[in-house]
Chains A and B, each alone.
Chain A
């Protein structure tokens, strides 16, 4: 049994605070979904949990089974059982997925042969064609191929908790259901805990979450069961914000004024 605990998490970019105190708990086998409008801080949450260098943590904690992750480099968080499936997976030309998972296995002290053995079966299950296994990971992949490849790595590496950042974006209906089915199977067969971040409700039908959280302006403003999704469906983010008496849904960083932007120039 594993548990990811995010409490009072605050983070900033270039001095501008984007997360303003986030609390969440995800346990093995559970599926939590964080929803929110654009600019609410969703992607920031996933990257701060994972330890991306561009963000400065200004408060709170992120614990995995009681161990504080803040301060650990990203790769060590991953080695302890955290996985981030990215919204925009980065292309690494010349480095195929097999090499990535083999290197990841070695770093965990696992025999790379074990994970490499699993790739074939996972590729078949997720309908990833051989040419995508041969090519550098994500290099000139379509959005759908990228997400299938993220899911393949997730399945092969068997983390304890997976953060799925907009895993549904750029996917057609078939790909979405392949990916969601695979994630769901992992929650059942391997007790994977899932923190899925999304803008749209359509992922909810596929993933059947235990809990739904709504993020606005860097804070969780509502949490609940599937009924919260139905409410959102009916009212939209603006309606929900109005119901909750929230004025600011999104955070916009101040932009410098361009003196030559006027038509006179």
Chain B
């Protein structure tokens, strides 16, 4: 079914472009597909082996019971694992095919680049079609490329770190990504360099039944800092697409990485992403995660705190509308002493949507002086919707202070009445309360993204209000 035949509902980014692809093999997954991808990319032998090895793991690994429960109808044979949309990557928007360029303009990416970004990567299906980095960053030794280019041009640093934070056998979807990955970003920030504006990647799926499996690796060397932002969207189709990324962050001693995601997939995308960071001594890693789109998201950004005094944070907002399930959360593993972490999660469910917080704080024996605090708040806007909270705390060290608190509530009648007595209608009043509810998260975002996130939530709620 063509995208235009479908009721887009409240989802505003659901148009599709005509397919004029350079390469689109058959659906399904086997060793030939994996070897073809590697061959097409002229990869070194070690990467081909890595992929084939990962495929075996994917095939061998059973679906976790609660994964299977969440997606009873996923069909791994009904997916295109690799689609090459253009002949080569460009660094000028005008050099993209017209329709593709229009899509990115409608998404506002070139404008954002002009205004407040230090570099942009745009991925369309399996490949990065546009990439540009601010020249002065290159002079400072900052490497920002798509992942495929990095494998070719920076083999030592890639081979040394690739798959070290999330090995292929970590979980079924990490194995899948490791076998068929394509695109994604690679960033290396040299010691002491502060990248003063965010670097952004935008991911667009266009084809029906497409799978997108980007792979991102960010390394902030000692004392360096970088902020990376990713956004995403896809057309609305009646059949499902699969997005399964792997993101690895490495914050060397004293480094700081902030990773912001505004996930706005169309409501037919399975979004199953593995994100994990390693924070070495006195490093800080922050995951800021907005989940608005997709049919099902299962994503638990993690920080493994391996060095003393490292700090991890996950701040997240999830919105689940009709037919959506946002199963998101966070994982903090405290391996080293005096490490600290904060998890702050806000979720909103409406019109039968379901939000789940699933998290783990683990303190290993010997990690003394650890402090961790988890807070989850859920807002359920009507009686069809639901919210679950599954926070795990595993504390193997005596001298650790770990706390968790959560609340579930509805929009208070008193609050609504108060705002409506000031002349707002119910929808405006609800939107205002919801915005206040997520404010602790949005205030940590750069202004442009905070506005975008609030606007998206309001749009979602509007579309749904009768």
Interface set of A (CB-CB < 8 Å, partner B): 259-260, 262-265
Known: A264-B196, A265-B198, A265-B258. A259 touches B116 (CB 8 A): no
> Known pairs A260-B225, A263-B447, A264-B196. 9 more at Cβ < 8 A?
A259-B194, A260-B256, A264-B116, A264-B198, A264-B446, A265-B198, A265-B227, A265-B258, A265-B446
Q: Tell yes or no: B95 within 8 A of A by CB.
A: no
Chain A residue numbers with a CB within 8 Å of B227 are 260, 265
Determine the distance from Cα of A259 to Cα of B446 in the docked complex, in whole angstroms.
13
Nearest chain A CB to B452's CB is how many angstroms away?
15
Nearest chain B CB to A37's CB is how many angstroms away?
31
Q: Tell yes or no: B2 within 8 A of A by CB.
A: no
Question: Binary interface profile of B, 187-217, with partner A (CB < 8 Å = 1, else 0)?
Answer: 0000000101110000000000000000000
Structural contact, A264 and B256, CB atoms closer than 8 A? no
Of chain B, the residue at the smallest CB distance from A264 is: B197
Chain A residue numbers with a CB within 8 Å of B258 are 260, 265
Interface set of B (CB-CB < 8 Å, partner A): 116, 194, 196-198, 225, 227, 256, 258, 446-447
Q: How many A-B residue pairs have CB under 8 A?
A: 18
Determine the distance from Cα of A263 to Cα of B448 in the docked complex, in whole angstroms.
11
Determine the distance from Cα of A264 to Cα of B196 in the docked complex, in whole angstroms.
7
Chain A residue numbers with a CB within 8 Å of B116 are 264
Determine the distance from Cα of A263 to Cα of B258 in the docked complex, in whole angstroms.
15
Determine the distance from Cα of A264 to Cα of B225 in the docked complex, in whole angstroms.
14
Nearest chain B CB to A85's CB is how many angstroms away?
27
Chain A residue numbers with a CB within 8 Å of B196 are 262, 264
Chain A residue numbers with a CB within 8 Å of B225 are 259-260
Instruction: Please list 6 pairs of residues, one from A and one from B, whose beta carbons are closer than 8 Å in the complex, sorted by A's number.
Output: A260-B225, A260-B227, A263-B447, A264-B116, A264-B197, A265-B227
Nearest chain A CB to B260's CB is how many angstroms away?
10
Chain B residue numbers with a CB within 8 Å of A264 are 116, 196-198, 446
Please give me the 7 A-B residue pairs with the lowest Cβ-Cβ distance, nearest first: A259-B225, A259-B194, A264-B197, A265-B446, A265-B227, A259-B256, A260-B258
The B interface, classified by DSSP as helix, strand, loop or mixed, is mixed
Of chain B, the residue at the smallest CB distance from A262 is: B196
Chain A residue numbers with a CB within 8 Å of B446 are 264-265
Determine the distance from Cα of A259 to Cα of B196 in the docked complex, in whole angstroms.
8
Determine the distance from Cα of A264 to Cα of B449 in the docked complex, in whole angstroms.
11
Of chain A, the residue at the smallest CB distance from B118 is: A264
Determine the distance from Cα of A237 to Cα of B190 in the docked complex, in whole angstroms.
47
Of chain A, the residue at the smallest CB distance from B256 is: A259
Of chain B, the residue at the smallest CB distance from A258 is: B256
Nearest chain B CB to A171's CB is how many angstroms away?
31
Chain A residue numbers with a CB within 8 Å of B447 are 263
Chain B residue numbers with a CB within 8 Å of A265 are 198, 227, 258, 446
Determine the distance from Cα of A259 to Cα of B258 in the docked complex, in whole angstroms.
10
Of chain A, the residue at the smallest CB distance from B227 is: A265
Chain A residue numbers with a CB within 8 Å of B256 are 259-260
Determine the distance from Cα of A73 to Cα of B196 in the docked complex, in whole angstroms.
49
Of chain A, the residue at the smallest CB distance from B223 is: A259
Determine the distance from Cα of A259 to Cα of B197 in the docked complex, in whole angstroms.
10
Chain B residue numbers with a CB within 8 Å of A259 are 194, 225, 256
Nearest chain B CB to A13's CB is how many angstroms away?
15
Of chain A, the residue at the smallest CB distance from B446 is: A265
Nearest chain A CB to B79's CB is how many angstroms away?
37
Determine the distance from Cα of A141 to Cα of B218 in the docked complex, in whole angstroms.
50
Nearest chain B CB to A253's CB is how many angstroms away?
16
Of chain B, the residue at the smallest CB distance from A257 is: B194
Nearest chain B CB to A93's CB is how many angstroms away?
15
Determine the distance from Cα of A98 to Cα of B196 in the docked complex, in whole angstroms.
58
Determine the distance from Cα of A155 to Cα of B323 in the docked complex, in whole angstroms.
67
Of chain A, the residue at the smallest CB distance from B260 is: A265
Of chain A, the residue at the smallest CB distance from B194 is: A259
Determine the distance from Cα of A262 to Cα of B194 in the docked complex, in whole angstroms.
12
Determine the distance from Cα of A132 to Cα of B383 in the docked complex, in whole angstroms.
44
Nearest chain A CB to B209's CB is how many angstroms away?
38
Nearest chain B CB to A90's CB is how many angstroms away?
15
Determine the distance from Cα of A259 to Cα of B227 in the docked complex, in whole angstroms.
10
Chain B residue numbers with a CB within 8 Å of A262 are 196
Of chain A, the residue at the smallest CB distance from B447 is: A263
Determine the distance from Cα of A264 to Cα of B448 in the docked complex, in whole angstroms.
10
Nearest chain A CB to B360's CB is how many angstroms away?
26
Of chain A, the residue at the smallest CB distance from B197 is: A264
Chain B residue numbers with a CB within 8 Å of A260 are 225, 227, 256, 258
Nearest chain A CB to B171's CB is how many angstroms away?
30
Nearest chain B CB to A258's CB is how many angstroms away?
9
Determine the distance from Cα of A260 to Cα of B315 in the docked complex, in whole angstroms.
15
Chain A residue numbers with a CB within 8 Å of B197 are 264
Determine the distance from Cα of A99 to Cα of B175 in the docked complex, in whole angstroms.
60
Determine the distance from Cα of A265 to Cα of B256 in the docked complex, in whole angstroms.
13
Of chain B, the residue at the smallest CB distance from A259 is: B225
Determine the distance from Cα of A66 to Cα of B227 in the docked complex, in whole angstroms.
59
Nearest chain B CB to A261's CB is how many angstroms away?
11
Of chain A, the residue at the smallest CB distance from B286 is: A260
Chain B residue numbers with a CB within 8 Å of A263 are 447
Determine the distance from Cα of A259 to Cα of B225 in the docked complex, in whole angstroms.
7
Nearest chain B CB to A260's CB is how many angstroms away?
6
Determine the distance from Cα of A262 to Cα of B256 in the docked complex, in whole angstroms.
14
Determine the distance from Cα of A264 to Cα of B447 in the docked complex, in whole angstroms.
8
Determine the distance from Cα of A117 to Cα of B430 in the docked complex, in whole angstroms.
59
Determine the distance from Cα of A220 to Cα of B371 in the docked complex, in whole angstroms.
37
Determine the distance from Cα of A5 to Cα of B14 in the docked complex, in whole angstroms.
78
Determine the distance from Cα of A259 to Cα of B198 in the docked complex, in whole angstroms.
12
Determine the distance from Cα of A260 to Cα of B196 in the docked complex, in whole angstroms.
8
Determine the distance from Cα of A260 to Cα of B446 in the docked complex, in whole angstroms.
9
Nearest chain A CB to B272's CB is how many angstroms away?
29
Of chain B, the residue at the smallest CB distance from A263 is: B447
Nearest chain B CB to A80's CB is how many angstroms away?
29
Determine the distance from Cα of A125 to Cα of B196 in the docked complex, in whole angstroms.
63
Of chain A, the residue at the smallest CB distance from B224 is: A259
Determine the distance from Cα of A262 to Cα of B197 in the docked complex, in whole angstroms.
9
Determine the distance from Cα of A262 to Cα of B258 in the docked complex, in whole angstroms.
14
Nearest chain B CB to A213's CB is how many angstroms away?
36
Nearest chain A CB to B309's CB is how many angstroms away?
11
Determine the distance from Cα of A196 to Cα of B97 in the docked complex, in whole angstroms.
78
Determine the distance from Cα of A263 to Cα of B450 in the docked complex, in whole angstroms.
13
Determine the distance from Cα of A265 to Cα of B446 in the docked complex, in whole angstroms.
5
Determine the distance from Cα of A255 to Cα of B258 in the docked complex, in whole angstroms.
20
Nearest chain A CB to B315's CB is how many angstroms away?
13
Of chain A, the residue at the smallest CB distance from B282 is: A256
